[in-house]
Structure 1
Amino acid sequence: MGWSRLILAGLLMGLCLEEAVAAADPEDMSVPLSLRATLMSLRDPGRSSKPGNFDPSDTIRLREADPRMMDVKHQLRDWVEARLAAAGRDADPAALARQLNADLQAADLFCEAQAGGPDRCPDDGGFWSGVGFLAPVRLEPVADGALLVLRTGIGIRCGTDDSAYAYQWRDGARRRLWQSEQDIQLGKPYLPQTLQSVQISAPDPATRARLMLTLGHQSWCSSNWYPVYIRLWQVADSGVTSLVDEAPDAYLARHDIPILGRLTSTEATVEFSAGGFDEATLFHGAVRHYRIDGGTVTRIGPAALTPRDFAQEWVKIAWPEALRWAAPNVNVANLQAWRKKWGKDGALGEVAATRHCRADPELWQVEANFADTAPDLGQTYFLVRWRKPDRLQMVDILSAPRADCDEADEAADRERSLFTPREWGTRSSVLDKKPRPVSQAGLPCSGKAYCLPAMAPRRRRRAFSLMKPSASFWL
C-alpha cells in the first residue's frame, strides 16, 4: 500500500464548520482530571517494548500508540477551547499559551519534571519515548490576526504526534472551522505527523474562501529518510474540501527545517529534499507548485531549480504526466522507451558535473552512469532546457553525449532555493563542512531563486537525528 493511501486512511479532517467553542466553568479552569488520568495510564512501563527497524505496516506497536491517545487529543483540545472562550476575543495568544503551558507543567504532563527533576523521556539506547506526556501547546494568530491556530502534540515513541485547529471570531464567539488530526485505531495504519508549519491564506476576493496548508513529516529515532506531508484544504462557507494530500519520500536532515512553503489565495509553493538517483547525495531539491482555481488544483512549474535536480525529479513524475514537463516537439517514443527501462524502482548512478551546450544557450546536459546498478540504462545523458530562473523542461535522453555539450558550468550545479538560508535554518546544508551563520538574504542567483552557500566536496554524510541531537547514524 502506498504512502498516500496510508495517509488517507489515517487522516482525520474533522470538519464541522462554525462549531462554537464552549466557555469554561469560571470556578474551575485547571487541567481536567480526566486528561491527567488518561496520560498517567499510558505511562505504564510494562507497555514499553524494544523497537526494531521501522516498519510502516506496524506503527501502532512501534510508536507505542494507543486508541486512548485520541481521548487525550480531544480532552486537551476541549480544555484549551474552554480557556479561549473564557479569555474572550481580545486575549493575548502568547500570554494565554504561556499560562496554559504553566498549568500543564504544574499538572506534571511534560517530560521535564518539576523543580528541575530528571527528564522522564530518556534516550534508551537511541530509542526514546514520550508516551504519557504532552508537548507544549502553541497559539498563533494568522491571516493578519483574523484567525487563531492551536497546535498540540502528544508523546509517542521517537517523537510527537501533532494536531492543529483553526478558529475565527464570529457572532460573538470563537468558532472552530478546521482541524487536522491523525487517527489512532487498532488494526489501521497510524502515521503520526510532526508539523513544521500551518499556513492560512487571505480570503479569495470573489468567493471569500481561504486555503489552508500544513507541512510536516514522519519521523523515527534512526535515519532521516521518511515522507514529508503536504496537505492543502479549501475552507469556504459551504464546507472544507481537501485539495492536496501527498507524502513524497524525503531526506529530512539536509537543512535544519526539512520542508518550507508559501501560500497565497491562488497558489501554494513547497520545497523539500526528495530522494534522487545521485549516489553521492541520494537526494535532490524538489518543488511542488500548485495553482488553485476554484476547487481545481493544477501542479505547475517549477518542479526543481537546476538541471541536475530537474532530471532527478522528472524521472519520478508519473507517465504520461511527465510529458507536461517535456519541451515541445520532443521524441515522445524515445522518452517513453527510456522510462520503461527505468521502471518503478529506478536506480542509483554516478552523476557527473552538468555541462552547458554551446549550440543552444538554454540547453544543459546531465550525465549519469547507471552501469553498476542498472546495466540496461548504462551511461545516460539528460538534455534539459533551462530558461532561468526556474523554467526547466526535458528535451531528450541519450545514450551518448551530445558533441557540443562540453562547456563546464559550476554555477549550474550550485544549490538553489526559493527560500533564504535563514528560512531553512542556520545550517545551510549537510554538505557544508560545518554549521555556520548565514545572511538573511542569501546570495541572489537570478529571478526569485537564492543560491545557498557553496557546498563542500561531495562525500558520504553523517546524518543527525532531528529528535535527539545526541543520536547519530551513518546513512
Structure 2
Amino acid sequence: MAKSSFPRFLVPLSTALALAAQAAAAAETCAPQVLREAAAKLAAPGAVLQKALAAAEPDPDLAPPLRQALGRLKPAVAELVDAHLRCMPAGQAPDLAVLAATLHTAANGVDVGKGNGNGNSDAAGENTLFRFEPAFIAEAGWLAVVAGIGIPCGSDAQLLLYAPRGGRWQRLLRWASADYARIDGAWEALQYRVSPRDAQGRRFVAVSHIRPWCSSAWSSIDYSVLRPAADSEKPQLLLQGSDSLWWGGEDFGRLSVDARHFELRFHAASIDSGVHSREFIRRYDLGGAKPRRVAPVAATPRDFVDEWIVSDWAEVRQWSAVPLDALQSRHEMLHALRQHYAPFEFGASSVCDGGAATQVELRSGGDEAALFFRVEGAAAADYRLSGISGAPDPECTATAAPE
C-alpha cells in the first residue's frame, strides 16, 4: 500500500513545484518594471529619428547620429515585443487587436485613438514612429509580428516570429535589415508567407520587401526564403534574390507558397519602353538539394520572349527547344544588346496551330529588320521557345488578343 501510494504523491508534488517555479520566473520577466525598461530603450534613439522626420528636406544619405539611432532602435523594438509576449500564454490565438494596441501604446507612449500630444490622431496608426502588425499562423501555431519604424521618405520593418515553448512565446526568428547609410537600405512594404509542412515535416518562411526612396516609384524588390531552426534564431537561408521593381499603384509584389514552392510576382521594366512595365514571375521548387527555378516564368507569350532575352542562358536553356546551338547564339546577341540598353520594340503577336503556339514579332537594336519568335504552349506553365526566324511563319495567321 505504502509502496503504491508514495509514487502517486511524489509525481503531483514535483509537478506542482515545477509549475510554481515556472510561474515565478514568468512573473519576474513580466514585472511592470521590465516592460517599462524595454520601452525606455526607444526614447533616446527615437528622439533622434523624430528630429530627422521633422526636417523640411529629407536627406537620402543618413547622418551618422541617425544611422546609429536606427541601429539601436531595431533590436530595441524586438526586445520590447519579446517582453510583452513573455506575459502572454502561448499555444492559442491571442486577441490580435489588443496585442497591436498594447505594443503601439508601449512603443509610442500614446493610446491608439487618443492622439499623440501634437494634435494629430493615432486612430489609424498615423503620425506615430512605431507600428505593429501581429498575426497568428494557425496551421503552425506560430505568432508573427511585423514591427515597422518610420524613417525619412519611407519606413523600415522587421519580421519577428514566435513559437510556443514551455507555455510561453519564444522568439523563433528575427529577420531585419542590416545597418545602412542611405534610406534605400531599409525594408519597406515587408510581407511574408509561412509554408505548410513538407514531406519531412518542415516549413519555410518567404519574405519580400522593397527599398524606399524619396522621389521615384522605381525601386528594388528583395526576397528571401528561410527555414527556421529548432534550436537557434539564425535560420537556414534557402534562397535570396533581388530585382528591379515598379511599385506604381502600390503594387509591392504578390507572394504565394505551398509545401514545396515559392512564388513572387511583381511589375518591372519591359525591354520595350513603349510597354513600360510587365509582370515578372519568380517561382522556385525548394524540394531538391538546392532551389530550382520552374515554370511559369512569364504570364504571356510576349512576356516570355522578354524574359528569355533578359535572363542568363544557363537559365533559359531549359525553356528552349533543341537544337540549342542556334538559339544560344541568338540569345547571346540579344542579351548583350539588352545589357547595353539597346532599344527593343514588340510588334504583333499571331496564333499558330490553332492556339498551340504563338508567334511574337520583335525589332531589336535599332535594326528595322524584325525577328519572329515561336513560343510553343497554350498555357504559361508550358511555354517553350522553339525557334527564331527573320520571316513570319505563314501558318501563324490569326491575330492574338492584345496583351
> For the superposition of Structure 1 and Structure 2, which TM-score range results when normalised by the shorter chain?
0.7 to 0.9
Note the C-alpha offset of 1:84: 0.7
Counterpart amino acid of residue 230 in structure 1: Y
Judged with a 3 Å threshold, the aligned counterparts in structure 2 of structure 1 residues 69 and 62 are, in CA distance, closer, same or farther, namely closer
Asked if the contact 1:356/1:409 (under 8 Å) is kept, the reply is yes
For residue 218 of structure 2, what is the aligned residue in structure 1? 225
Q: Deviations over 1:287-314 (max 9, x none)?
A: 1111112552111001011101111111
Name the structure where helix makes up a greater proportion of residues: 2
Q: Deviations over 1:374-417 (max 9, x none)?
A: 2358523222112325321122223332233231121xx44xxx
Match among 296, 303, 306 for residue 302 of structure 1? 296
Greater RCO (Cα-Cα under 8 Å, separation 6 or more): 1
Counterpart amino acid of residue 149 in structure 1: A
Q: What SS is found at the alignment partner of 2:146?
A: strand
1:242 aligns with 2:237: yes
Judged with a 3 Å threshold, the aligned counterparts in structure 2 of structure 1 residues 335 and 223 are, in CA distance, closer, same or farther, namely same
Match among 86, 103, 107 for residue 100 of structure 1? 103
Judged with a 3 Å threshold, the aligned counterparts in structure 2 of structure 1 residues 102 and 238 are, in CA distance, closer, same or farther, namely closer
Distance 1:70 1:194 in 2: 16
For residue 87 of structure 1, what is the aligned residue in structure 2? 88
Match among 8, 15, 37 for residue 44 of structure 2? 37
Q: What SS is found at the alignment partner of 2:185?
A: coil
Distance 2:292 2:81 in 1: 37
Judged with a 3 Å threshold, the aligned counterparts in structure 2 of structure 1 residues 243 and 46 are, in CA distance, closer, same or farther, namely closer
Q: Percent identity?
A: 21
User: Normalising by the residue count of structure 2, what TM-score does the alignment of the two structures yield?
Assistant: 0.80
Note the C-alpha offset of 1:198: 1.3
Note the C-alpha offset of 1:190: 5.8
Counterpart amino acid of residue 201 in structure 1: S
User: Normalising by the residue count of structure 1, what TM-score does the alignment of the two structures yield?
Assistant: 0.69
Counterpart amino acid of residue 225 in structure 2: L
1:154 aligns with 2:149: yes
Distance 1:85 1:245 in 2: 32
For residue 11 of structure 2, what is the aligned residue in structure 1? none
Judged with a 3 Å threshold, the aligned counterparts in structure 2 of structure 1 residues 306 and 65 are, in CA distance, closer, same or farther, namely farther
Instruction: Please say which structure displays the higher CA radius of gyration.
Output: 2
Note the C-alpha offset of 1:363: 1.8
Asked if the contact 2:218/2:246 (under 8 Å) is kept, the reply is yes
Match among 370, 384, 387 for residue 375 of structure 2? 384
Match among 192, 198, 205 for residue 212 of structure 1? 205
Q: What SS is found at the alignment partner of 2:29?
A: coil
Distance 1:176 1:113 in 2: 31
- Summarize the alignment of residues 344-423 of structure 1 with structure 2, pairs less than 5 Å apart: 344-358=339-353, 361-370=355-364, 374-375=365-366, 378-410=369-401, 413-414=402-403
Cα RMSD (Å) of the superposition?
Answer: 3.4
Q: What SS is found at the alignment partner of 2:296?
A: coil
Aligned residues: 369
1:291 aligns with 2:298: no
Judged with a 3 Å threshold, the aligned counterparts in structure 2 of structure 1 residues 63 and 258 are, in CA distance, closer, same or farther, namely farther
Distance 1:49 1:305 in 2: 43
Distance 1:377 1:82 in 2: 66
For residue 71 of structure 2, what is the aligned residue in structure 1? 70
Match among 25, 32, 46 for residue 31 of structure 2? 25
Note the C-alpha offset of 1:282: 1.8
Counterpart amino acid of residue 36 in structure 1: A
**Unaligned stretches of 5+ in structure 2?**
1-24
Distance 2:153 2:136 in 1: 29
Asked if the contact 1:384/1:395 (under 8 Å) is kept, the reply is yes
Judged with a 3 Å threshold, the aligned counterparts in structure 2 of structure 1 residues 355 and 62 are, in CA distance, closer, same or farther, namely farther
